Structure 1
Amino acid sequence: MEKIFVLDTNVLLHDPMALNAFQEHRVVVPMTVLEELDHIKDRRDKDVSREARIAINAIDKILFNASPKEIQDGVALPSTAELQPTGCLAIFPDQLINHDTGAPYLDGTPQQANDNRIINVALHLQSKQPDAHVCLVTKDINMRLKAKGSGLENVEDYRRDRVLDDIDYMSKGYEHIAGRFWDQVESVETLREGSQAIHIVSRDVVPNVHINQFIYDDNGFVGMVRALDDQRMELLDLCRERLMNQHMWGLKPRSLEQAMAFFLVAQPNIDMTVLTGPAGSGKTLIALAYGLHAILEEKRYDKLIVARSTPPMAEDIGFLPGTEEEKMAPWLAAFDDNLEVLHGSDESPFSSIEYVKDKANIQFKSLNFMRGRSFNNAYIVIDEAQGLTQFQLKSIITRVGVNSKIVVLGNLAQIDNKYISPLTSGLTYLSEKSKHFPHAGIMHVNGIERSRLAAFAEENL
């Protein structure tokens, strides 16, 4: 059976190279989608306009030499694999659709949403080619409901961006072993490196382990995977009591997960740390405390850059008064709150905070204006990363320069982008793709440390 996929605009914005996912099938891009991409490419929102331009260029690259008739009939998709694809890309002039057939069309007048015109394309193809599998692909949940309610048999979400089938399988950065870890180990080789003990055990003990992952049991053992191959893994023996007694800029961990995050973010060979967890778990506080410690005490970096996206008001930031740091203040108030926590016991907290901001060269940036820049000798904190796409996070990570460390923070339960779910978030993608990279670390900091009221609200409201 021939498969025909009608793509919505948000699919191409979410993954500008989405056409590569349909190489063996017929792909139809409605004219309305091209019109929406044309409108979006000139927006002042740098992220979405850039992705629109990339999607337009990808379509143009395929259709560049084709005649008008070939474009409507379908142009062969280029091959990216050994096998030659049998699929093609076609543009459908949806403005020519009428009610001559029995297809149940939605109202396509200018007063109606463009979504209706795109749905009408799929309904038209389903009516004209009853033997084909016609499917609308969109990331808009309401559009999927409208399409099904209009009689479209096949409607799907774009699933190529999913790195997991279930968010529960996402790596947390640690593995809990019930009982005693050493009861499951048949043989071990222990080496000494100064004051550190390295245990070499079979990988079969924890088969799905990855580099820089923590392993702990109920008897007080805590180890960190320092190296591994197909048969063995090296565990750095960490004393649980020593982990819990870490101090960083006056901050001390309250839970084992916080203690492991403390240790992970401070490792000099780890260039990127991803900290996830619910609101109030201490992610921001840990990232900020180590940044101040590394810059002011260890003299490891020259500046601390705090950045986050500012949707949906990114276009309006330029109209706010003051410098870029002052414009970003409404969105980065959480960092001021955490600075107050770190210096709340000082004799003059306000003066201490202003002194630290100046001495540590703390800079507040909007992710929408970081394109084309490189940050060297910098400690970079990306806040609220759960709302970023895979494409956006990749473009941010590539900005990290020489002798820099980046810490990415996010809570997958607080996604406010209607086209992103926990399974398709750039934060999930980054965690899963980087967990095998020797210079990256992942930690899910669970538990609410703000107050008993905050813990109750997170669990019950």
Structure 2
Amino acid sequence: MGQNDKKVYILDTNVLLHEPLAIYSFQEHDVIIPMTVLEELDHIKDRRKDVSRDARIAIRAIDDALRDATPEEILAGVLLKKAGDDAVSGHISIYPDHALPEDTGFLPAQNNNDNKIINTALYLQRSHAEQMVVLVTKDINMRLKAKGAGMQHVEDYRTDQLISDVSMMSKGFRELDHSFWDDVGDCESFQEGRDTFHLVSDALLPQAFPNEYILDETDQFAARVVASSDHKVTLHDLGRERLMARQAWGVHPKNIYQGLALDALLDPSLDLVVLTGPAGCGKTLLALAAALELVVEKGIYSKVIVTRNTPEIAESIGFLPGTEEEKMAPWLAAITDTLEVLHRHDESPDGSMEYIMDKANIQFKSVNFMRGRSIQNALVLLDECQNLTASQLKTIITRCGEGTKIVCSGNLSQIDSNYLTPVTSGLTYIAERFRSFEGSAHVYLNGVVRSRLASFAEEKL
């Protein structure tokens, strides 16, 4: 690659907080870190927030890349070397943006770090006219300001973005608008105990992935992809009636999508289940009911660990009285509300809840305290995943040890993070990345079943 073919990427602070090892994502191109970005990382690394950890990792990554370099080499650019990745041939450099000429005539930068970084990008765009200079930031407003100031190339950080539009995201099932069996013709079927399996041509189900559900309303047919090899797809015949007859802790599915979700949740061979869908579709209720069924009734797991993303948890958890679980209670009210629903008809609902929480060994844990643990023989319910980044979800999922199942649920239309979108959410990333993993399933729960008011609000507001 010639020098003129190499692009110059200027990284904003939020990119390094979103993905601390982002400097290695630009392969053969050059990465420039403005000094202002390092100063922002320095301020953030000591805060009592979850993001401080990402800041420290980003600082260490930059330090590792520049550790043996002289000041002159750091200004000129040091070759990015990542262990085990020979494809990286770009360079990284630190740009002293405080030394920009005073007559640059760009945005007023006094006490405005965004403007300082934009000015750096504009200056480099002018001084490197022979190369494409790109400002990379996850801040939408900063992208607009940069373009308005004359920056030709401004981009979001998309390396961890597996799809370009959330509408392209797999729902975990495919619904056929015709009779499945009319297309199949002759097929090989066999029994294993009570279960029936069919071998069909992969031409009928192109790009089928493990544990994808097949629905045919015409013939009331429902099946799950078990395997795909030798131009054949093996289907586990589930049957709509049997799916709708499934139950967990007294909860029966109200529609076929909840039936699919219960099938995945109650299957101990699946280590990861991803549930997505609108508010009121039953994600939390089904996950908790299945957890109680698997722990209390079937004894497959020894405990239930419930956790969720809490943006301000690191600051405000310390001011709440009580133990960790008592401090987590306000953020996990959705779980206790669901427990109340499951036991509202009991003679003594409060006594039933206390008994079940003790019997199922339900533990409320902060996401912050999940790191460094190895969770064994547990069922982990991770709620509100839409607000987690891919790296945060990776941190939690890699904590799961032998005999542990994790359920990730969330609503991609209710993202609270300033730097996440439905496309870049960790929930979307995990659902797409694990599509080919035989130990995972994803179900999008169509339809709101909470109430007619909730259904109308979800549809019209």
CA distance in structure 2 between the partners assigned to 1:153 and 1:165 by the alignment:
21
Counterpart amino acid of 1:5? Y
Indicate yes or no: 2:420 matched with 1:420: yes
Equivalent residue number for residue 324 of structure 2 = 324
In the alignment, is the contact (CA less than 8 A) between 2:24 and 2:88 conserved in 1?
Answer: no
State the 1:355 CA deviation: 1.4
CA distance in structure 1 between the partners assigned to 2:347 and 2:88 by the alignment:
72
Counterpart amino acid of 1:167? V
CA distance in structure 2 between the partners assigned to 1:379 and 1:25 by the alignment:
43
CA distance in structure 1 between the partners assigned to 2:79 and 2:375 by the alignment:
42
Equivalent residue number for residue 54 of structure 1 = 57
State the 1:23 CA deviation: 2.5
CA distance in structure 1 between the partners assigned to 2:92 and 2:422 by the alignment:
30
Counterpart amino acid of 2:65? I
Encode CA deviations 1:398-449: one digit per residue, 9 max, x unaligned. Answer: 1112211111111111111111111111111111111211111111111000
Encode CA deviations 1:257-298: one digit per residue, 9 max, x unaligned. Answer: 000111111112111111111110001001100111111111
CA distance in structure 2 between the partners assigned to 1:430 and 1:129 by the alignment:
38
CA distance in structure 2 between the partners assigned to 1:384 and 1:401 by the alignment:
22
Which stretch of the first structure deviates more once superposed, 451-460 or 12-21?
A: 12-21
Indicate yes or no: 2:76 matched with 1:77: no
In the alignment, is the contact (CA less than 8 A) between 2:277 and 2:444 conserved in 1?
Answer: yes
Equivalent residue number for residue 99 of structure 1 = 102
After the TM superposition, which residues 56-455 of structure 1 pair with which residues of structure 2 at under 5 Å, given as runs?
Answer: 56-78=59-81, 81-82=85-86, 85=89, 87-101=90-104, 104-110=105-111, 113-218=112-217, 219-455=219-455
Equivalent residue number for residue 21 of structure 1 = 25
Note the aligned Cα RMSD (angstroms). 1.4
In the alignment, is the contact (CA less than 8 A) between 2:80 and 2:88 conserved in 1?
Answer: no
In the alignment, is the contact (CA less than 8 A) between 2:124 and 2:133 conserved in 1?
Answer: yes
State the 1:84 CA deviation: 6.7
CA distance 1:126–1:282, change in 2 (3 Å): same
CA distance in structure 1 between the partners assigned to 2:241 and 2:87 by the alignment:
57
Counterpart amino acid of 1:97? L
CA distance in structure 1 between the partners assigned to 2:401 and 2:423 by the alignment:
29
State the 1:238 CA deviation: 1.1
State the 1:186 CA deviation: 3.9
State the 1:83 CA deviation: 5.3
SS in 2 for 1:442: strand
Percent identity over the alignment is 54
State the 1:96 CA deviation: 1.1
Encode CA deviations 1:302-337: one digit per residue, 9 max, x unaligned. Answer: 211100121034322111111111111111111111
CA distance in structure 2 between the partners assigned to 1:35 and 1:279 by the alignment:
40
Q: How many residues matched?
A: 455
State the 1:78 CA deviation: 2.1
Encode CA deviations 1:363-417: one digit per residue, 9 max, x unaligned. Answer: 1111012111121121110000011011000000011122111111111111111
The runs of 5 or more residues in structure 2 that have no matched partner are: none
SS in 1 for 2:331: coil
Encode CA deviations 1:24-50: one digit per residue, 9 max, x unaligned. Answer: 22211000111111222222224x222
SS in 2 for 1:205: coil
SS in 2 for 1:330: helix
SS in 1 for 2:110: coil
Counterpart amino acid of 2:150? G
Counterpart amino acid of 2:59? I
State the 1:12 CA deviation: 1.1
TM normalised by structure 1 equals 0.96
In the alignment, is the contact (CA less than 8 A) between 1:385 and 1:427 conserved in 2?
Answer: yes
CA distance in structure 1 between the partners assigned to 2:290 and 2:441 by the alignment:
15
SS in 1 for 2:134: strand
State the 1:145 CA deviation: 0.9
State the 1:81 CA deviation: 4.9
Which stretch of the first structure deviates more once superposed, 210-219 or 178-187?
A: 178-187
Encode CA deviations 1:215-242: one digit per residue, 9 max, x unaligned. Answer: 0112200111111125111111112111
In the alignment, is the contact (CA less than 8 A) between 2:28 and 2:87 conserved in 1?
Answer: no
State the 1:343 CA deviation: 0.7
State the 1:82 CA deviation: 4.9
Encode CA deviations 1:51-93: one digit per residue, 9 max, x unaligned. Answer: 22221122112211111111111112226655572x3111111
CA distance 1:321–1:166, change in 2 (3 Å): same
Counterpart amino acid of 2:214? I
In the alignment, is the contact (CA less than 8 A) between 1:45 and 1:368 conserved in 2?
Answer: no
CA distance in structure 1 between the partners assigned to 2:142 and 2:282 by the alignment:
38
Counterpart amino acid of 2:353? I
Equivalent residue number for residue 34 of structure 2 = 30
State the 1:131 CA deviation: 2.9
CA distance in structure 1 between the partners assigned to 2:21 and 2:394 by the alignment:
14
CA distance in structure 2 between the partners assigned to 1:7 and 1:183 by the alignment:
55
In the alignment, is the contact (CA less than 8 A) between 1:376 and 1:401 conserved in 2?
Answer: yes
Indicate yes or no: 2:16 matched with 1:12: yes
CA distance in structure 2 between the partners assigned to 1:3 and 1:432 by the alignment:
29
